[in-house]
Amino acid sequence: MAVTATDRTGETHDATPDFVYVVSLLAGLEAATGREGHAGVLPFLGMARAELTDFGQRLPACYVDVPVIDLRAGLADLDRRLGTLLANSEVLQHSLRIDAARRLLRRGTATVARGPHPASN
């Protein structure tokens, strides 16, 4: 079960290590500018993070530094970790948000796999 605390604004801060790491990895992937395919996947990462954090209502208690060396490897790691979060989720709303985030991530990953659009060259 998630370890949470609610502040006066109604935001929930989740200190569960897996959740903190996944949101931190998402932030690291968003910050990985200059990597091939980053521009195509960035909007999907932002939407996935919005879903995962329930649009700001479920925030990580803190962030950890997650360096992203390879964009594709980071995306694959994130997909795997989202799958683990989903399998271990005990709250229906969290499960739905994790599933939505994972679907968005996979759409973004598909854009990286396709490569640059021919018109952008």
70-114 pLDDT, tens digit per residue, is: 999 999 999 999 999 999 999 999 999 999 999 999 999 998 888
Residue 118, domain member (yes or no) = no
Q: Please state the domain count of the chain.
A: 1
Assigned domain for 77 exists: yes
Does some domain include residue 84? Answer: yes
Q: Residue 110's pLDDT is what?
A: 94
Q: Would you say residue 7 lies in a domain?
A: no
Confidence of residue 8 (pLDDT cuts 50, 70, 90): very low
70 domain residue, yes or no: yes
Q: Tell me if 37 sits within 8 A of 115, measured CB to CB.
A: yes
- In this prediction, residue 2 carries a pLDDT of 46
Mean pLDDT of the chain: 89
Domain that holds residue 59: 14-113
In a domain, 1, yes or no: no
